[in-house]
Amino acid sequence: MKIDLGPSIPIQQLSKAIHKTPEEIENSLRGRGKVLRAGDGLKVDQAIWIAEQEGFRVRILSRGKEEALSIEPEKKSLIQPRPPVVTVMGHVDHGKTVLLDAIRHTNLASQEPGAITQHIGAYKIHLPGGDIVFLDTPGHEAFAAMRARGAQLTDIVVLVVAADEGVKPQTIEAVQHAQAARVPIIVAVNKIDKPQANPARVREELAQYGLIPEEWQGETIYVDISAKYHQNLDKLLEMILLLSEMMELKADQSRAARGTVLESRIDPQLGPTATVLVQDGTLRIRDFFVCGQTFGRVRLMMNEWGKRMETAPPSTPVQISSFSQVPRAGDPFLVISGEKEARKLADLIGRQEQGAKRLRPRPTTLEEVQREIRKEAIPELPIVLKVDVYGSLQPIVQSLQSLAIPGARITIIHSGVGAISESDVLLASATSERGIIIGFNVKPDSKAELLARQERVDIRLYSVIYDLINEVSRLAQGLVIPRYREEIIGRGEVIRVFHIPKVGVVAGCLVQEGKFVKGRQGRVIRRGIIIHTGEIVSLKHYDQFVDEIGQGKTCGLMLSRGFTRYQVKDQVEVFIREELPKGGEE
């Protein structure tokens, strides 16, 4: 069967070509971390990946300017068990890299700056019971970034939690990222050698997040370990192999290789280089390949220790050079029959990505999401929730979870305390095209704000719990109508704090953008947390009281409600908030 190539390949056409239902294709995509529906289109590399996975041979046909995919049945492949791919996650300094060091009998932790992992490493461990591939990530940000590009690499997550410190904010975020990816979790309770170690408390705390221990009639495997003294590591490895055997992980070594880029860089001697995890088939020296919008031929292939390799079977991490340009982390890696076809396919992928951006932009606001919900009756609204303090978190979570919306469901895919980060944006983007971020008395940091614009993720900020609950409820019902419009007219920074007798505390500010206007609302932000909002009651430039002050100038500022807790480097935003006419649109 032939499929004409356009800006995208309809799932329905591919389903007919490979004799699968659209739902089965969607499930296959979901297994790679990409959520699509039957009406959506596929990129050409996604279509090839799925077709070849189902035992079909795919070629690109060209007749003048017309191009098509030829999909034909291939001889039955030989499916064999493959090693599990394991990602180690957890809170900083809870012993993730030390654990891998102990398993590999190396000392990589001492080579890392501050003993904290700064890059993605991939390592294959050979054991009597089988091989295991470990991915050592710098945090859940990398985990979410891979999923945002449609790459589901991990079979199992090992969550490392220090027995003497218990569950920390990054622990919770790692759990929620793994659960959003539907990846099974094994909990490694580390540092049981410490006098303050309390493994039972770790179990109690994690049980609140759905990780019920097997000994409590749950399904989560817990192993108490000491990575420092190599205690119970054999049991942890045994549990990983046992779980992978139950998952029946398999791949076909006889076919052309397919994989995913873990990391990439420019090597001074080798040029564009990438670490690729081979997930299916066998990669060989001199194979032609396409990887996103880049292509090349395998001329040098090395394992994690720098040893040259001739072949790489499934679940093998390898370093490859000779890319035409640097690929992106998360790009699919496909072996192609020849250089001409690889070049053509890379060009097609580039054109399809540009065409897809023009034809089907991601919803950018809650209003656009609401309109799609009305049109398509989508049953789920995924939310990333960030708040200023723990005291606010539980009431908001409980209020949202208690909302009863007929025909719709609100899902909190992550909740936490602190400023909105890049990780939050990536999680919202990776989970669903309609994932949104709700902030209560917090702001996104500059990097998160930039990434949200790039990924077209909507961020909504609230300072009144009632407004937050009410508008999310209306959105889920497809009835949301924004009641307010907010426009930021000025931004600045506190550069000095003055204590003036009989007057009070005055913030000396530098206006960095726009202008400060007396009588307008202002908010004080510290490390992404909104600590006060009030009206500007006094604005002074040197010795003169003024009604407004512009960019690049300094001023003395006082806000209403007697706020006095200014600190140097606090951010100040001045804004206008207008109520919209009833039934109106922005």
Q: Per-residue pLDDT tens for 33-62?
A: 555 544 567 777 777 777 777 777 776 666
Residues 149/328, Cβ–Cβ less than 8 Å: yes
In this structure, what DSSP letter does residue 113 have? G
Q: Is residue 201 domain-shared with residue 121, that is, in the same domain? A: yes
CA dist., res. 128 & res. 124, Å (int): 13
Candidate from 300-309, 517-526, 540-549, 577-586 with smallest mean pLDDT: 577-586
What would you report as the CA-atom Rg of the chain, rounded to the nearest whole angstrom? 27
Q: Is residue 239 domain-shared with residue 267, that is, in the same domain? A: no
Q: Is residue 165 domain-shared with residue 223, that is, in the same domain? A: yes
Contacts with 417 (C-beta within 8 Å, 6 or more apart), sequence order? 169, 386, 387, 388, 389, 390, 393
Contacts with 415 (C-beta within 8 Å, 6 or more apart), sequence order? 176, 384, 385, 386, 387, 393, 397
Pairing of strands 332-336, 409-417: unpaired
> Domain for residue 586, yes or no?
no
Q: Which long-range contacts link 122-126 to residues 24+ away (Cβ below 8 Å)?
A: 122/262, 122/275, 122/277, 122/304, 122/317, 123/304, 123/317, 124/83, 124/303, 124/304, 124/315, 124/316, 124/317, 125/237
Q: Is residue 68 domain-shared with residue 90, that is, in the same domain? A: no
Query: Across 67-71, 77-81, 275-279, 289-293, which has the greatest mean pLDDT?
Result: 275-279
CB atoms within 10 A of CB 255: 19
Could you tell me how many residues make up the chain? 586
Rounded mean pLDDT of the chain? Answer: 80
pLDDT at residue 137, as a whole number:
56
pLDDT in tens, 289-311: 988 888 899 999 998 878 899 99
CA dist., res. 549 & res. 557, Å (int): 11
Q: Is the pLDDT of residue 429 over 70?
A: yes
Per-position DSSP letters for 402-459, written without gaps between them = T---TT-EEEEEEEEESSB-HHHHHHHHHH-TT-EEEEESB-B-HHHHHHHHHHT--E
Calculated CA dihedral for residues 53, 55, 56, 59, nearest 10 degrees? 60
CA dist., res. 111 & res. 295, Å (int): 33
Query: Across 7-21, 125-139, 145-159, 535-549, which has the greatest mean pLDDT?
Result: 535-549
In this structure, what DSSP letter does residue 327 have? P
Paired tokens of 235: 């049991």
Residues 160/90, Cβ–Cβ less than 8 Å: yes
pLDDT at residue 76, as a whole number:
58
The confidence band for 168, taking pLDDT boundaries of 50, 70 and 90, is confident
Picking from 248, 280, 296, the residue at the C-terminal end of a domain is 248
CA dist., res. 546 & res. 324, Å (int): 60
Q: Is residue 92 domain-shared with residue 213, that is, in the same domain? A: yes
| CATH of residue 384 | 3.40.50.10050
- pLDDT over 90 percentage in the chain: 30
> Domain for residue 561, yes or no?
yes
Q: Is residue 188 domain-shared with residue 132, that is, in the same domain? A: yes
User: Alpha helices of 18-117 — where are they, by DSSP H?
Assistant: 22-31, 44-53, 96-104
Residues 508/546, Cβ–Cβ less than 8 Å: no
Calculated CA dihedral for residues 155, 160, 166, 167, nearest 10 degrees? -40
Contacts with 480 (C-beta within 8 Å, 6 or more apart), sequence order? 366, 367, 370, 471, 474
Q: Is residue 65 domain-shared with residue 115, that is, in the same domain? A: no
> Domain for residue 20, yes or no?
yes
Residues 422/448, Cβ–Cβ less than 8 Å: yes
Q: What number is the average pLDDT over the span 278-284?
A: 91
> Domain for residue 52, yes or no?
yes
CB atoms within 10 A of CB 115: 14
CB atoms within 10 A of CB 378: 19
pLDDT in tens, 438-470: 999 888 888 888 888 877 788 888 888 888 888
Q: Is the pLDDT of residue 381 over 90?
A: no
pLDDT at residue 583, as a whole number:
44
CA dist., res. 171 & res. 163, Å (int): 12
CA dist., res. 312 & res. 306, Å (int): 14
> Domain for residue 328, yes or no?
yes
Picking from 336, 359, 382, the residue at the C-terminal end of a domain is 359
CA dist., res. 128 & res. 159, Å (int): 24
- pLDDT over 70 percentage in the chain: 78
pLDDT at residue 112, as a whole number:
45
Q: Is residue 396 domain-shared with residue 473, that is, in the same domain? A: yes
Candidate from 250-254, 277-281, 544-548 with smallest mean pLDDT: 250-254
> Domain for residue 584, yes or no?
no
Domain assignment of residue 405, given as a range: 366-480
The confidence band for 66, taking pLDDT boundaries of 50, 70 and 90, is low
> Domain for residue 456, yes or no?
yes
Q: What number is the average pLDDT over the span 262-274?
A: 83
Per-position DSSP letters for 339-390, written without gaps between them = HHHHHHHHHHHHHHHHHHHHHSPPP-SHHHHHHHHHHH---EEEEEEEESSH
Q: Where are the beta strands (DSSP E) in 47-106?
A: 56-63, 66-73, 79-81, 85-90
Q: Is residue 302 domain-shared with residue 413, that is, in the same domain? A: no
Number of domains the chain is built from: 5
Q: Is residue 145 domain-shared with residue 243, that is, in the same domain? A: yes
Q: Is residue 466 domain-shared with residue 493, that is, in the same domain? A: no
| CATH of residue 289 | 2.40.30.10
Per-position DSSP letters for 6-43, written without gaps between them = SSSEEHHHHHHHTT--HHHHHHHHHHTT----TTSEE-
pLDDT in tens, 324-363: 888 877 788 989 888 888 887 877 777 766 655 444 455 5
pLDDT at residue 278, as a whole number:
93
Picking from 359, 379, 406, the residue at the C-terminal end of a domain is 359
pLDDT at residue 368, as a whole number:
58
Q: Is the pLDDT of residue 72 over 70?
A: no
Q: Going edge to edge, which strands form the sheet with 156-162?
A: 121-127, 130-136, 85-90, 156-162, 185-190, 221-224
> Domain for residue 585, yes or no?
no
pLDDT in tens, 6-16: 667 777 778 78
Q: Is residue 454 domain-shared with residue 540, that is, in the same domain? A: no
